[in-house]
Amino acid sequence: RVFPFSGSTNYNLSLNATPVAPPDYAGNSTSAARDIGTLNSSRSFSDWVGSADTNDYYRFTVGSQSNFSLGLTGLTADADVQLLNSAGSVITSSSLSGSSSESINTQLSTGTYYVRVFPFSGDTSYNLSLNATPTNPVGGGSSTIGIAVDWNLAAYRQNNIFWQSGYAPNSMYSGSTVNHLDGSLGNCTWYVNGRLQQLGYSKYALDSMYGNASTWENTAARGVTISSTPQVGAIAQWESNHVAVVERVNSDGTILISESSYWFNGTSYLYNTRTIAANSPSRFLIVPRA
């Protein structure tokens, strides 16, 4: 309101408003991240992101193989969240639309990680919950290798999309006169689909991955995520056209895998296990539970 006290006058009025962000309790980069130390239980934080604060970073470590969960709630605008490795590369993320709550659930190996919260549109306060529960590792990682493969299960036969298409080895087709897979003793894609079904993972998600092993990261859907970090039950994938199942994550930077191999020249095998470097596969595909 501008008004005269006495007389008449021309005037110039200038107005300026600069957004002021609420206090920022988390840093704006990995180097300035809020360090919450070792995460071995539940921790909760409240903060704000928006036009005046476009990034909040949190840094934490896990001291052993752990099941990790994250929740981003209390949003009034669209904000997203990412889980990063120690180099700042994205492991996985959650980016639902609008003010929907975000969540991440995965398994982490020993190491340092970052959580990044950032606005997609609008300004919003948020509540961030983090939880890491050790998996009581055996030899540095939980293990499924003690669960014996049962070739008689429907997971390897009629419930397996590769068996249905004729891409299981001859031994899986009782009484068949067809020479499946050119007589190969095994097939990696068929085996991984069956093994993960046997271990309790979602057939619906597994069946989104079909065709040659080298293409699985492109067809993966229905909740399957891609990670650079191995975990028990993950699919190890190589660009060279091979997939295997991670059965154990060891404390020395190696993993134990189980696998089957297709080859028509006599070097194929139905089942094999071996220990390899964790960085040997091109990536890991994480399948949700059934």
Q: Are residues 98 and 173 in the same domain?
A: no
Asked whether residue 54 is domain-assigned, the answer is yes
53 within domain boundaries: yes
Asked if residue 186 and residue 122 are part of one domain, the reply reads no
CATH number, residue 39: 2.60.120.380
In a domain, 123, yes or no: yes
Other Cβ atoms closer than 10 A to 9: 8
What is the per-residue pLDDT across 64-121, written as a single tens digit (0 to 9) for each?
778 899 999 999 999 999 999 999 999 999 999 999 999 999 888 878 999 999 999 9
Which pLDDT score is estimated for 92?
92
43 and 88 in a single domain? The answer is: yes
Give the Cα separation of 250 and 81 in Å (integer): 29
Whether 264 and 169 share a structural domain: yes
72, 191: one domain:
no
In the chain, % of residues over pLDDT 90: 73
Is the residue at 17 inside a domain? no
Q: Residue 178 — very low, low, confident or very high, per pLDDT cuts 50/70/90?
A: confident
Do residues 198 and 155 make contact, with C-beta atoms less than 8 angstroms apart? Answer: yes
For residue 59, the enclosing domain spans 34-134
Number of domains in the chain: 2
Radius of gyration of the chain from its Cα atoms, rounded to whole angstroms: 26
C-beta separation of 187 from 169 below 8 A:
yes
Q: Indicate which CATH number applies to the domain containing 262.
A: 3.90.1720.10
Instruction: Please give the C-alpha separations between residue 143 and each of 11, 40, 75, 138, 231, in angstroms, as whole numbers.
Output: 79, 20, 38, 7, 10
Residue 129 placed within a domain: yes
